[in-house]
Copies of this chain bind each other. A is one copy, B any other.
């Protein structure tokens, strides 16, 4: 399975703000898309995971912004699984425009069941990062 995956995202008009730049909260949405596409590249669908009764809920998020992204920029988001252990997966994100790094971030997601109880990660989800 893949510990790292890259996708391209084009900045939507609706995602910019009054400074004509990608609004800072939307980076967090991009990170979510990155996680989902990393899963898909590894052969999993987050939708099917939820249908099976497992939910990944965000426990921590952080982002550092280095350079602004403009409307219509075609960005590259690199998502890396840093750690997948117990009930938690830690991802790292780097957002680029060509070779410029615009931002980087980190999330920790926890695994819960339909009732919100903490669950150990299934083995096939942990497999993303060979340790």
Binding site for B on A (CB under 8 A): 12-14, 16-20, 23-26, 28-29, 32-33, 36, 45-47, 50, 55, 57-65, 68, 70-72, 116
Contacts and interface: CB of A to CB of B under 8 A. Distances in A.
Contact of A19 (B57, B62, B70): B57
Total copies of this chain within the assembly: 4
Contacts of A12: 29, 32-33
A14 B24 CA distance: 9
8 contacts: A13-B18, A13-B23, A14-B17, A14-B29, A16-B17, A20-B20, A47-B70, A68-B116
Contact of A26 (B25, B46, B64, B65): B25
